[in-house]
C-alpha cells in the first residue's frame, strides 16, 4: 500500500477513475437489472441496453463540462459558487439524502442476495454489519485504496465474465431471441426506463472523484471514460443476450438474481460445475466498490458542506445510520419493486442529471469559473508535526529526512 | 432488550473513541458533527428495535415524485 494511502487528498489516475465508473455501474445493477429490463422488453431487452448506451456518455459530458469550469472542486463546493452559499448548501443536502439512501439500498441488495442465495439462516443485520465494517475500513483508507482495489477487481470481473460466456456457448439458443421486434420499437424503448435511473442517474458520484484525478492525467480522462462506457455497454449487451439465449426471456424476467442463476447452468462434462459462486464473489466485490464510493461521496459531501477539515471522523457514524436505514428502506417485496423500478429512476435522474445540468446552465449564463483548490486542508497535529493523516508535515519531514506529504 | 443494550454499548464505545481521537487531533467541529450523526443512527436503530413508527425516507420520495413517476410507470407497464 502506498505511504499516501488514507490521505484526505489522495490522487488517482484517469484509468483508475474509468475502472471505478465501470465497477460502480456494474455494481448492484448487473445481477438485478436484467430482470427488470426483460420483464418490460422481453427478448428485445438487449436492444434497450444498446439504445441507452449513448446516454451513459451524454450524462458524463455534463459532469465533465462542470469539471472543466471547476477543475479542483467537487459538487458541494461548486454548488455554493454557482448558487450562493445557502442555496448551495440546500442543494448539497439533497445529495446527502441521495447518497445516504443509495448506500442503504445497495447494502440491502447485498444482504438480500446473501440471505436468499448463500446464507439463508443468517440474520440480515449480521450480514449488513459485517459488510459495512469492510466498507468503513476501505473508505477510511481513502480513494486511492478504493481505486487500487477496483483495479484488482476489474481483472477478476473480466475473467469471470469471459468464463461465463465461453462455458455457456454450447447451451446458447438463438431461437430464444426471436421474434425480433415483434411489438415494434416501443417495448425496447420502455425497457430503457429502469436503466436510466439504475445505474445511469447514480453516476453523479463521479463529480466527487474528478477533482482527485491527477493533473498530469486529466487530458486522458475523456478517452478513459469513453472506453469505460463502451466496455460497460458491450458487457451489458452480451450478458443480456446470453441470459435470454440460455434461459429464455420468461425465466429471466422471473429470476430475482438472473446472472447468478445463469451461472448455475454451467456444466461442462460434470467437471466444470457450481461456478455460480464465482459470480457471487465478483458481485460482492463490485458491490463493495459501489458502496465504498457511495459512503465516500456521502462523507466528503458532508465534510465539504460543513467546512470540516477532514471527512474521516464521519465514516463510522454514517455506518450507524446506513445499517438501520437499509433494514428500514423496503417494507416488503411489492414496496421494493415499486420503489426500485418506478420511483428511483425519476428521483436519481432528477438528482443525477437535471440538477447538475441546471448548475451547468446557470454557471454558463453567469460565466462562473473557478480553478481554486477545493481539497481538504492538511491538519497539523501538536505531536511532532504530523498531519491528521499520519504523514509528516513539511517541517517535520525535513527533521526526519523524509519526503514531505503531497496535497 | 438485549439487542438494545448491545447497540447502546456499541454506540457509547464508538462515541468514546470519536471523542478521544478527535480531541487529541484538535478536530472539535468534526467531533461534534460525528457525534451528532452517531446519535441519529443510534436513535434510528433503537427505534427499529423497539418497533416504533420510524419515518421511512423512501416514502417521502415516493410522495414527492408521485406526480411524475406514476404516469411514466403507467405508460411503461401498459400492455405488459
B61:A343 CB<8 A? yes
Encode burial over A290-307: b for 16+ CB neighbours within 10 A, e otherwise.
bbbbbbbbbbbbbbbbbe
Which of A361, A376, A18, A81 shows the shortest CA–CA distance to A218? A18
Cell of A385: 508535526
- What is the rounded average pLDDT of the residues A248-262? 89
For chain A, positions 81-140, list CB contacts with chain B under 8 A.
97, 100-101
Q: What is the pLDDT of residues B48-67, one digit of tens each?
A: 999 999 888 999 999 999 99
Give the CA distances from residue A158 to residues A19, A23, A231, A243, A390, in Å, rounded to whole numbers and listed in that order: 11, 11, 10, 17, 36
A91 in a structural domain:
yes
Q: Residue B68 above 80 pLDDT?
A: yes
Provide the H-helix boundaries in B1-80.
2-24, 28-49, 57-77
A3 in a structural domain:
no
B44:A325 CB<8 A? yes
Closest approach of chain A CAs to the CA of B7, in angstroms?
Answer: 10
Q: Tell me the whole-structure pTM to 2 decimals.
A: 0.90
Contacts of A185 in chain B (CB under 8 A): none
Q: Residue A8 above 90 pLDDT?
A: no
Range(s) of the domain holding residue A287: 14-376
CATH number at residue A239: 1.20.1740.10
Residue A7, pLDDT score: 55
Q: What is the pLDDT of residues A373-386, one digit of tens each?
A: 777 776 554 444 44
CA dihedral A306, A307, A311, A314 (to 10 degrees): -30
- What is the rounded average pLDDT of the residues A16-28? 91
Residue B44, pLDDT score: 94
A396 in a structural domain:
no
> For A342, which residue in chain B has the nearest alpha carbon?
B73
User: What are the residue ranges spanned by the domains of chain B?
Assistant: 2-55
Q: What is the pLDDT of residues A43-55, one digit of tens each?
A: 999 999 999 989 9
A405 in a structural domain:
no
A394 in a structural domain:
no
User: Can the peptide bond before residue B33 be classed as cis, meaning omega within 30 degrees of 0?
Assistant: no
Amino acid at each position: 500500500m502506498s505511504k499516501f494511502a488514507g490521505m484526505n487528498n489522495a490522487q488517482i489516475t484517469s484509468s483508475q477513475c474509468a475502472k471505478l465508473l465501470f465497477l460502480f455501474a456494474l455494481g448492484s445493477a448487473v445481477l438485478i437489472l436484467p430482470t427488470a429490463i426483460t420483464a418490460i422488453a422481453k427478448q428485445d431487452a438487449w436492444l434497450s441496453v444498446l439504445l441507452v448506451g449513448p446516454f451513459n456518455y451524454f450524462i458524463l459530458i455534463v459532469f465533465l463540462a462542470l469539471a472543466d469550469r471547476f477543475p479542483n472542486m467537487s459538487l458541494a463546493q461548486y454548488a455554493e459558487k454557482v448558487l450562493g452559499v445557502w442555496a448551495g448548501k440546500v442543494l448539497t443536502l439533497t445529495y446527502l439524502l441521495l447518497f445516504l439512501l443509495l448506500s442503504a439500498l445497495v447494502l440491502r441488495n447485498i444482504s438480500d442476495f446473501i440471505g436468499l442465495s448463500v446464507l439463508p439462516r443468517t440474520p440480515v443485520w449480521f450480514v449488513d454489519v459485517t459488510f459495512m465494517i469492510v466498507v468503513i475500513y476501505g473508505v477510511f483508507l481513502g480513494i486511492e485504496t478504493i481505486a487500487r482495489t477496483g483495479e484488482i477487481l476489474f481483472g477478476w470481473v473480466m475473467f469471470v465474465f469471459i468464463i461465463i460466456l465461453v462455458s455457456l456457448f454450447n447451451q446458447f439458443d438463438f431461437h430464444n431471441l426471436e421474434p425480433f421486434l415483434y411489438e415494434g420499437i416501443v417495448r425496447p424503448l420502455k425497457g430503457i426506463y429502469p436503466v436510466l435511473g439504475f445505474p445511469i442517474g447514480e453516476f453523479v458520484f463521479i463529480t466527487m472523484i474528478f477533482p482527485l484525478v491527477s493533473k498530469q492525467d486529466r487530458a486522458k480522462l475523456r478517452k478513459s471514460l469513453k472506453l469505460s462506457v463502451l466496455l460497460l455497454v458491450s458487457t451489458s449487451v452480451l450478458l443480456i443476450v446470453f441470459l435470454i439465449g440460455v434461459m429464455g426471456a420468461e425465466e429471466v424476467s422471473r429470476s430475482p438474481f438472473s446472472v447468478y442463476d445463469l451461472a448455475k447452468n454451467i456444466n461442462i462434462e460434470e467437471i466444470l460445475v457450481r461456478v455460480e459462486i464465482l459470480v457471487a464473489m465478483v458481485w460482492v466485490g463490485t458491490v463493495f466498490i459501489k458502496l465504498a464510493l457511495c459512503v465516500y461521496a456521502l462523507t466528503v459531501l458532508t465534510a465539504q458542506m460543513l467546512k470540516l477539515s477532514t471527512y474521516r471522523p464521519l465514516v463510522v457514524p454514517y455506518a450507524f445510520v446506513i445499517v438501520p436505514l437499509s433494514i428500514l428502506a423496503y417494507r416488503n417485496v411489492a414496496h421494493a419493486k415499486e420503489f426500485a423500478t418506478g420511483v428511483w429512476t425519476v428521483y436519481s435522474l432528477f438528482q443525477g442529471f437535471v440538477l447538475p445540468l441546471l448548475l451547468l446552465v446557470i454557471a454558463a449564463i453567469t460565466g462562473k469559473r473557478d480553478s481554486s483548490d477545493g481539497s481538504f486542508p492538511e491538519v497539523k497535529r501538536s505531536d511532532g508535526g504530523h498531519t491528521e493523516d499520519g504523514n509528516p508535515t513539511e517541517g517535520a519531514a525535513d527533521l526526519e529526512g523524509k519526503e514531505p506529504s503531497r496535497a | 432488550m438485549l439487542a438494545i443494550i448491545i447497540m447502546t454499548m456499541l454506540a457509547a464505545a464508538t462515541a468514546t473513541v470519536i471523542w478521544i481521537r478527535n480531541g487529541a487531533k484538535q478536530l472539535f467541529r468534526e467531533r461534534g458533527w460525528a457525534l451528532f450523526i452517531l446519535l441519529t443512527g443510534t436513535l434510528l436503530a433503537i427505534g427499529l428495535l423497539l418497533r416504533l413508527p420510524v419515518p421511512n425516507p423512501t416514502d417521502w420520495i415516493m410522495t414527492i415524485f408521485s406526480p411524475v413517476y406514476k404516469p411514466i410507470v403507467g405508460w411503461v407497464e401498459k400492455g405488459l
